[in-house]
Chain A
C-alpha cells in the first residue's frame, strides 16, 4: 500500500495505545458532546459463519462470496448490504422502543421504506419534509422514490424523484488472506414442495479475521442532505434517533447477524480496532484493517478535530460505545447553523458555535 503518512508518528501512536491498554485507560475516552461523523475500523474474528453468500448458481452447493484483492490473492468476503440490512432491522426496533415515529412501510419492516408508500392512497403525495419528520428509519437509513412519467391515457400521474442517502455506510468485510479457512458441510433440507422430499446441500462454514469499516454521518439526522437543509428542528428527537443508530451499531458488532444465522450463528472470538470521531464538519478517517498497522496509523491522526479511541477487546468496545450512546448528540452542519440561528433549532447551533 502506498503510504503518505509519517512513520515516526505511527511509532509514537503505537506507544500511546500500548500505554493506554496496560493502564486500562483506553475505556475512559472523553468524547465531545456533539458529533458530526464517526467511523469504526475493525478486525473482527468470526468462527463458522456463512452470513453472506453468492447464491447456488442452480446447483446444490451454496457458494461463498469471494473477492479478488489488489495483491492478487482471492479472499472470503461478506457484503456490506447484509450488514446494513441487519442494522436497519435493529435500528427500527430501537427507534420504536424510544418512541420515535416510523412510516407505515418501516413499521411493517418493508425494506423499500418510503418507496413502498407511493401506491398507498393515504401517502400518495409524499415529500422529503414529511418523510424526514415522520420516519426515523427513512431519515437515517435513506430511501429512494423513483421518478415516474405520467401515462399517456392519464390514468397515472407523474411522480417526482425523492431520495435521501443513507447516513450509515458499511464496507464489504474482507478476510485477511492468510487468516481464513473454509469447511464444506453437507446438510439436508426440504425442497420447495412435498414431492421434492429431502435433498442434500453443501454449505460452507468459514472462519477467519475480517477487516471492515463503518461510517456514520450523524450530522445528517433530520436533514434533507441533497440541499443540507434542516427539516427536523426538534433536537430531542434528533438525539433519540442518534442513540438508536448507535445502539444498533453496537449490537451488530457484538452479535453478528446475516444469512443462515438460524443454524450457523457465528462465534465471535475477537474484536479490535479504532473508533474515530469528528466533532465538527469533516470526514472521519477510515483505514483498512487489512493493514497490520491500521490502529497505529489512525491513532497518529488524533487531533482536536479527530478524536481516536482504540480498543482491543469486546468489553472495551462496549464501554466506548456506551460512552458515545450516553454522552453524545448529533452536531448540526455549518450551513444549517448559519441559516437556523433565528429559527427553532438555534439554541443548539449557538451552543456549538460558542
Chain B
C-alpha cells in the first residue's frame, strides 16, 4: 500500500431535491433517515464510483486498501428538514421471500447548503480520489440525487463534523443534537471479498454499528416535519 504523506480532500455535495439515507437497523417499512451519509456509506460509495472510473482490478489492488483504512469525516448541511412520506414500494415477504407491493413510510430530507465529505488520502493518490469523489452522484437511495460541486484541499473542523458518542468528553451535553446509529467498517483490515456484494459466499460482517452525534440542533417541529440547524460542538 502506498504510504506517502497524507492530505485532506474536502468535497462539497449539492442536493437539488430530497434525499434519504436510511438509519441502519431502522425498518425498511418505516425508515428513519440521517441528515447526511455516514462513514461506511461514504466508503461504499467510493468503491462503487471508483469501479466505474478505473475498473475492478485497479480498485481492488490500488484504491481499496486506502478506502478501508482512510480517515473519513462528514460535515452535514447548514440546515436539514426531515419529513415523513408514505410511498408505495416493493418489499420482501418473510414467508415466501417474494416481492410484494405495499405502502411504506420513509423519511425524506431536504438540505440547504452542501454536505462536505473529508477524506485523508496519500498525496500520490490525490488525483484519482478527486476524480472518484466527483463521480459520486447520489447518497442513500438512487433518487437522492447529489452533485459534487467543488473539491478542495482542506482539513475538517472536528467541531462541525459527525462524531461517535464514545469520543465525547463526559461533561459535554449531547442531548440537543441529532443522534442515531451509523455503520462503519469493522476495522482497517476488512477484506475486498467482504464488501463486494456480487460475491455470493458468506463472509464476516464487514460493518460495525455505533451511536453518532451530529452537530445539528433541532430548530423547530412543524406539521410532519422537523428542522435542524448546524450548531458546532464545543471545542
Contacts and interface: CB of A to CB of B under 8 A. Distances in A.
Contacts, number: 171
B198 A285 contact: no
Interface stretch (A96-104, A162-170, A231-239, A310-318): A162-170
A354 interface: no
A333 interface: yes
Nearest to B55: A335
A244 to B, nearest CB: 20
25 contacts: A4-B149, A5-B149, A54-B86, A67-B18, A68-B83, A68-B226, A70-B77, A70-B79, A70-B111, A72-B81, A74-B83, A77-B18, A79-B85, A80-B17, A81-B143, A112-B99, A144-B90, A161-B197, A170-B143, A173-B17, A212-B17, A213-B16, A228-B52, A228-B56, A288-B16
B52 A333 contact: yes
A45 interface: no
B147 A160 contact: no
B143 A2 contact: no
Contacts of B225: 67-68, 74
B8 to A, nearest CB: 17
Contacts of B88: 81
B87 interface: yes
Interface string B51-89: 111111000000000000000000001111111011111
A69 B110 contact: yes
Interface in A100-146: 111-112, 115-116, 118-119, 144, 146
Interface string A278-309: 00011101111110000000000000000000
A81 B141 CA distance: 12
A280 B99 CA distance: 37
A169 B138 contact: yes
Interface of B: 12, 14-18, 51-56, 77-83, 85-90, 92, 97-99, 101, 103, 108, 110-114, 134-138, 142-143, 145, 147-150, 197-198, 200, 219-220, 222-227
B149 A72 contact: no
B205 to A, nearest CB: 15
- The 7 lowest CB-CB distance pairs between A and B, nearest first, are A68-B225, A335-B55, A171-B17, A70-B112, A288-B16, A2-B113, A68-B81
Contact of A72 (B142, B145, B227): B227
A283 B135 contact: yes
A226 B79 CA distance: 33
A71 B108 CA distance: 15
A116 B98 CA distance: 8
A326 B200 CA distance: 41
Contact of A70 (B56, B224, B227): B227
A284 B113 CA distance: 19
Nearest to B116: A2
Contacts of A55: 86, 103
Nearest to A74: B223
Contacts of A111: 90, 101
Given A69-B110, A70-B81, A282-B135, A171 B18 contact: yes
A333 B147 CA distance: 19
Contacts of A71: 79, 112
Contacts of B220: 72
Given A166-B142, A172-B17, A335-B55, A283 B103 contact: no
Given A227-B198, A283-B134, A69 B81 contact: yes
Contacts of A288: 14-17
B82 A68 contact: yes
A261 interface: no
A334 B113 CA distance: 32
Contacts of B136: 283
A279 B143 CA distance: 23
A72 B111 contact: no
A282 B134 contact: yes
Given A54-B85, A212-B17, A287-B14, A2 B56 contact: no
Contacts of A61: none
A34 to B, nearest CB: 16
Contacts of A41: 16
B55 A171 contact: no
A179 interface: no
B141 to A, nearest CB: 9
Contacts of A169: 137-138, 142-143, 145
Nearest to A229: B56
